[in-house]
């Protein structure tokens, strides 16, 4: 059973394999020579949180791979409320070939995977966002080639996205620096996992409160919304402490001349990123968004052993 819950669960070889598969699948799609790897397969999509990119990219991915996707809204499946997570997992396993869940609480994903007899994919949780991470590293690979020794700088909140970036960078031997305000750091347990993975790959990882130090000599500058979905009550407070971490032209000037700028979207323009940067020549924002489609195709094919 191949669940896709967090990038830290993968081996370096598995991560590279999925990325290479995504490259091949994307090239075939552009050449109009797609392989229907998932013909007659069905993906069940459980949504507690709405999402433009997750919903459309998984739906289209299944269609282009020859299968079908079934959308289940928050009102239809109330995990742990109307029905236990374990029972939802058992029932879904009788109907579909693979499950994707976009949830608030990461523990719900762990429970889904525990009781499922089909692969479970993390479409987002409060702990990690591995599908976004795979799309991000696919984008970096396209722009920079071999990522070993390249520097990824993340500026902003120590959240689920930065967790996946730390794990992925450490697996690939890519250096990673995160700059956050005080009290918004990555959780120590996440950092411990990152240090273990980095020790195995030779990646250099660091945390700082200084955004300029993080951005200096970076190959990739990455940011995310200052307040994630479900943190709206904290938004006003965060707007007071996060402005120094905004990616603008001044901060970008500290990175390498060929550095790319990334954001998982949706962006709050003028807050964590400025328009001249988001729409500028170094922006990779919409390549990232496109690559959700191709990275997730590779994840689905890998999880279902459909290459055979």
Question: What residues act catalytically?
Answer: 102, 129, 132, 224, 264, 292
Q: Helix, strand or coil for residue 37?
A: coil
Between the alpha carbon of residue 15 and those of residues 31, 138, 187, 215, 307, the distances in Å are: 24, 11, 23, 26, 16
Q: For the CA atoms of 234, 155, 47, 304, what is the dihedral angle to 10 degrees?
A: -160
Q: Helix, strand or coil for residue 147?
A: coil
| Gap between the Cα atoms of 215 and 155, Å rounded | 8
| Gap between the Cα atoms of 90 and 147, Å rounded | 40
Element (H, E) at 167: helix 160-172
Give 304: exposed, middle or buried? Use CB within 10 Å, 0-12, 13-18, 19+: buried
Residue count of the chain = 308
Q: Which residues pair with 83 in a beta bridge?
A: 79
207-242 burial code (b ≥16 CB/10 A, e <16): beeebeebbbebbbbbbbbbbbeeeeeeeeebeeeb
């Amino acid at each position: 059973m191949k669940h896709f819950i967090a990038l830290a669960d993968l081996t370096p070889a598995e991560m590279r394999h999925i990325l290479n598969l995504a490259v091949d699948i994307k090239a075939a799609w552009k050449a109009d020579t797609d392989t229907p790897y998932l013909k007659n397969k069905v993906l069940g999509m459980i949504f507690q949180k709405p999402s433009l990119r997750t919903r459309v990219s998984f739906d289209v991915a299944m269609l282009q791979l020859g299968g079908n996707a079934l959308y289940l809204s928050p009102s239809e499946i109330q995990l742990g409320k109307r029905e236990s997570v374990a029972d939802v997992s058992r029932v879904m396993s009788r109907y579909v070939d693979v499950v994707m869940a976009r949830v608030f609480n990461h523990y719900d994903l762990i429970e889904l995977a525990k009781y499922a007899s089909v692969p479970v994919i993390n479409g987002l949780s409060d702990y990690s966002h591995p599908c976004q991470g795979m799309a991000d590293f696919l984008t970096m690979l396209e722009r920079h080639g071999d990522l070993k020794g390249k520097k990824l700088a993340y500026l902003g909140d120590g959240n689920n996205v930065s967790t996946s970036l730390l794990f992925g960078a450490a697996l690939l031997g890519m250096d990673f620096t995160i700059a956050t305000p005080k009290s918004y750091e990555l959780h120590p347990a996440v950092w411990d996992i990152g240090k273990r993975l980095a020790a195995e790959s030779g990646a250099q990882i660091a945390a700082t409160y200084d955004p300029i130090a993080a951005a200096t000599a970076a190959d990739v500058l990455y940011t995310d919304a200052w307040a994630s979905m479900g943190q709206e009550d904290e938004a006003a407070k965060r707007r007071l402490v996060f402005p120094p971490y905004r990616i603008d032209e001044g901060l970008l000037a500290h990175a390498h001349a060929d550095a790319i700028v990334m954001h998982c979207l949706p962006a709050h323009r003028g807050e964590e990123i400025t328009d001249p940067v988001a729409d500028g020549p170094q922006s990779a924002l919409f390549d990232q968004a496109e690559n959700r489609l191709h990275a997730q195709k590779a994840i689905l094919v890998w999880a279902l052993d459909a290459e055979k």
